[in-house]
Structure 1
Amino acid sequence: MTQSTAIGSDLGDRSGLAGDAVRRIMHIASAIRHYQDVEVGELGLTPAAARALHELDPDRPLPARDLAEQLRCDRSNVTALVDKLEQAGLVERRVDPADRRQKTLVVTDAGRRMRERVHRVMSDSRLLAGLSTDELATLRELVWKVSDGGCPEECGPE
């Protein structure tokens, strides 16, 4: 199928082009999510637990309520995620030395190692293997341009 057949006969139809691009992006996102979910499962984590671990900074303990904000979910959901991470020995709850009424989440040494493995899974680029370096640079620039227009502040480079 040619590109013009894939996107319709009227290449000048901006709305049609944009709609096709959005559908393709959603398809790619779904495929990436599928691969990530499978590989995260092989690490013994749920996708939600992996995302929570990925969000934690090993060098900066964080209260669970702040993790809930980062994940954009209810604190009760974070409690269950942290319970799983703690049972796996990846995170510990510790009293915050600055405010003894509060507990913070500390990534353990095992958690640091697992977090690096999760980061590799979340950075898997197998779907982009067929692109040249120039094409990858162009794709990154276009994706950055689009995402910068609609992403919250935390969407910047890591």
Structure 2
Amino acid sequence: MAHLTASLRHRQGTAFAELGLTPATARALHELDPDRPLPARDLADRLGCDRSNVTALVDRLEQAGLVERRTDPADRRQKTLVVTGDGRGVRDRVTEVMSDSRLLAGLSDTELSTLRDLVWKVSDGGCPEPCDPA
């Protein structure tokens, strides 16, 4: 499991670096909905981190031209995060990288089902249908 996770992180990290992002900035961009501005405090909640960390992430995204801070029209004291046009394209690519399953491409459908069932079994003691709990 650790080897699989490390391999996946390495592949994602390499792809994110090609986009000029770190894994943390990629995840932050991924969490932003291009059609709904979001306050930075809400992004911090989604990422499960301190607001000061989000400030640094947003600074990097803003410097790259992927995100803008804008005044919230409903509450002018608050800034919201808006994904730019360039940010939308990069975010789409980040989403592709995060869902890339090439690491598992060599497995048959039966092997994939077995892997899924085993991961479910060790992760929470249960498994989805048609998992055989025995």
C-alpha distance 98-138 of structure 1, shift in aligned 2 (>3 A): farther
Letter paired with 1:126: R
Q: How far did 1:71 drift?
A: 0.9
Q: Structure 1 vs Structure 2: percent identity of aligned residues?
A: 76
Residues 112 and 130 of structure 1: is their aligned pair in 2 closer, same or farther, counting only changes over 3 Å? Answer: same
When you count helix as a share of all residues, which structure comes out higher?
1
Cα offset, 1:90, TM superposition: 0.5
The equivalent of 2:44 in structure 1 is 68
CA distance in 2, matches of 1:145, 1:96: 45
Structure 2: which 5+ residue stretches go unaligned?
126-134
- Write the mapping of 1:108-127 to structure 2, written as runs, cut at 5 A: 108-127=84-103
> 1:90 matched to which residue of 2?
66
In structure 1, runs of 5+ residues without a counterpart are 1-24, 150-158
TM-score if structure 1 supplies the norm length? 0.72
Partner in structure 2 of residue 59 of structure 1:
35
Structural mapping, 1:19-58, within 5 Å: 25-58=1-34
Which consecutive aligned stretches of 4+ in structure 1 deviate over 2 angstroms post-superposition? 133-149
| Helix, strand or coil at the partner of 2:103 | helix
Identify the structure with bigger relative contact order (alpha carbons < 8 Å, sequence gap 6+).
2
Over 3 Å counting, the alpha-carbon distance change for 1:139 and 1:106 in structure 2 is: same
1:77 maps to which residue? 53
Q: CA deviation at 1:125?
A: 1.4
Task: Compute the displacement of 1:139 (Å).
Answer: 3.1
Distance 1:63 1:147, change over 3 A: farther
Measure how far apart 1:143 and its partner are: 3.7
CA positional deviation for 1:98: 1.4
Find out whether 1:104 has 2:80 as its counterpart: yes
Separation of aligned partners in 2, 1:107 and 1:38 = 23
Structure 1 102/37 Cα, relative in aligned 2: closer, same or farther at 3 Å? same
Question: Amino acid of the residue matched to residue 93 of structure 2?
Answer: R
1:21 is matched with which residue?
A: none
Asked which structure has the greater CA Rg, the reply is 1
TM-score normalised over the length of structure 2: 0.84
How far did 1:129 drift? 1.1
